[in-house]
């Protein structure tokens, strides 16, 4: 499991900024190699360390801008549908930790899902917190080997699968807590196509500082290993990311790259989707993460590196403004997933949400945003599925 494999990478990553950046000619050669083949742990660490040099950063931006990824003039739209914000994890950076959460009833959920279908969406992300009513700790539960009773969760997936199939099919992605193989297999049998878990931070010390030790999320190893649980359950696609701004983003990028490489070598496939979330909201000003703030300049550099280093499709989200995301697409190309309409509280589409959001988002008009994309020469797809996603994978040329 990756929780064992990652141990040998800690010394390499800890030494990331202790040496001088590679000179431009050597960096250019290493960057070219990264476009052709996998780098080993020492090489990817040297590559990320070298991006502290201005000339090397310019090379990354130029290379990403010249790279033509699959479907480079197209975007796939993907909205989230939150169905619970009741949470037992108490993460330091999450607004759901303040209490007062809500779980949609099944009628509300069906109404919200149907509304998204009425807008033309056929690929939808189902999102929930660690709601103890939905994820009940089973008798054999242990922090390092978590087992859940998900009987109360299944009706939400039954409804989503029925409505999606009744509309001609599509794709279901989840952003839910990590689960055991048996629970994930139940969801796979109800139409789950893509399992998403943001790792938040790979750094074990920072992870412990930011997460409640007695909640399920307090065990970092189980979170890391949930990707392999999803593979064992037969789920087709995986989505991975770290939350930019919780720790040094260059170190996090090394870990994400090595995680993706590990999954591909062990299981024949890595991340189909690479998330790009950046810390937003009140916690972004916290002294606990102030040294790791990700500027717009560094965020753009990280996006450029993602386009070079990963086969997975980048997902640009409403934590950033539409204008900012559009600029990224115009600068580096499409072939990405994009969120245009977003509610980060339960509900919020067919009816206003009655509880607080997980984090602030930029409100965007769907029709106006799609028109702006089309004016920029970008084709927009709302009705896509898991096979469509497969055709978007690849680093391009």
What does each C-alpha distance from 56 to 59, 69, 256, 304, 310 come to in angstroms?
5, 22, 21, 12, 19
What does each C-alpha distance from 396 to 134, 210, 274, 360 come to in angstroms?
41, 37, 15, 33
Closest CA to 96 of 353, 396, 274, 389: 353
Angle at alpha carbon of residue 181, lines to 178 and 187, rounded to 5°: 75
Where is 76: in which H helix or E strand? strand 74-77
Domains with residue ranges and CATH for the chain: 71-391 (3.20.20.70)
Per-residue confidence in pLDDT tens, the chain, 397 aa: 999 999 999 999 999 989 999 999 999 999 999 999 999 999 999 999 999 999 999 999 999 999 999 999 999 999 999 999 999 999 999 878 777 899 999 999 999 999 999 999 999 999 999 999 999 999 889 999 999 999 999 999 999 999 999 999 999 999 999 999 999 999 999 999 999 999 999 999 999 999 999 999 999 999 999 999 999 999 999 999 999 999 999 999 999 999 999 999 999 999 999 999 999 988 888 999 999 999 999 999 999 999 999 999 999 999 999 999 999 999 999 999 999 999 988 999 998 777 766 767 788 899 999 999 999 999 999 999 999 999 999 987 7
Q: Identify the pLDDT of residue 351.
A: 83
Q: Identify the pLDDT of residue 356.
A: 66
Q: List the structure tokens of 289.
A: 């993460």
What pTM was computed for the model?
0.97
Q: 89-92 contacts: CB < 8 A, separation 24 or more?
A: 89/129, 89/130, 89/211, 89/212, 89/215, 89/216, 89/217, 89/218, 90/211, 90/212, 90/215, 91/200, 91/210, 91/211, 91/212, 91/217, 92/209, 92/210, 92/211, 92/283, 92/286, 92/288
Q: Identify the pLDDT of residue 357.
A: 63
**Rounded-to-integer distance, Cα 278 and Cα 364, Å:** 18
Q: Identify the pLDDT of residue 185.
A: 99
Give the gyration radius of the chain's Cα atoms: 20
Where is 324: in which H helix or E strand? helix 322-332
Question: Could you tell me which residues come within 8 angstroms of residue 105 by beta carbon, excluding any fewer than 6 positions away?
Answer: none
Q: Identify the pLDDT of residue 140.
A: 87
Q: List the structure tokens of 56.
A: 């090397």
């Amino acid at each position: 499991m990756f929780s064992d494999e990652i141990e040998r990478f800690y010394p390499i990553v800890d030494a990331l900024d202790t040496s001088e950046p590679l000179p431009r000619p050597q960096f250019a050669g290493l960057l070219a190699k990264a476009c052709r083949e996998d780098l080993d742990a020492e090489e990817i660490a040297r590559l990320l360390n070298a991006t502290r040099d201005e000339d090397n950063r310019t090379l990354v931006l130029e290379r990403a801008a010249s790279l033509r990824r699959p479907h480079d003039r197209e975007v796939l739209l993907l909205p989230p549908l939150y169905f619970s914000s009741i949470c037992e994890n108490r993460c330091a950076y999450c607004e759901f930790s303040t209490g007062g959460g809500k779980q949609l009833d099944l009628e509300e959920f069906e109404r919200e899902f149907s509304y998204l279908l009425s807008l033309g969406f056929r690929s939808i992300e189902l999102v929930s917190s660690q709601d103890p009513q939905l994820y009940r700790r089973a008798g054999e539960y242990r922090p390092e080997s978590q087992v859940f009773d998900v009987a109360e969760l299944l009706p939400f997936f039954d409804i989503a699968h029925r409505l999606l199939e009744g509309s001609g099919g599509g794709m279901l992605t989840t952003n839910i807590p990590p689960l055991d193989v048996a629970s994930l297999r139940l969801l796979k049998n109800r139409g789950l196509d893509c399992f998403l878990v943001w790792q938040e931070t790979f750094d074990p010390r920072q992870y412990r500082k930011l997460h409640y030790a007695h909640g399920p999320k307090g065990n970092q190893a189980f979170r890391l290993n949930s990707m392999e649980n999803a593979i064992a359950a037969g789920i087709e696609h995986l989505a991975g990311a770290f939350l930019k701004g919780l720790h040094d983003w260059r170190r996090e990028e090394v870990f994400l790259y090595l995680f993706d490489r590990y999954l591909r070598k062990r299981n024949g496939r890595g991340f189909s989707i690479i998330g790009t979330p950046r810390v937003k909201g009140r916690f972004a000003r916290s002294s606990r993460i102030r040294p790791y703030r990700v500027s717009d300049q560094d965020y753009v550099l990280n996006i450029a590196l993602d386009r070079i280093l990963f086969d997975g499709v980048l997902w640009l989200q409403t934590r950033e403004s539409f204008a900012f995301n559009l600029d990224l697409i115009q600068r580096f190309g499409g072939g990405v997933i994009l969120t245009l309409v977003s509610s980060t509280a339960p509900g919020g589409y067919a009816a206003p949400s009655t509880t607080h959001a997980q984090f602030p988002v930029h409100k965007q008009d769907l029709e106006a945003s799609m028109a702006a994309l089309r004016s920029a020469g970008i084709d927009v797809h709302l009705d896509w599925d898991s096979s469509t996603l497969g055709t978007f994978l690849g680093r391009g040329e």
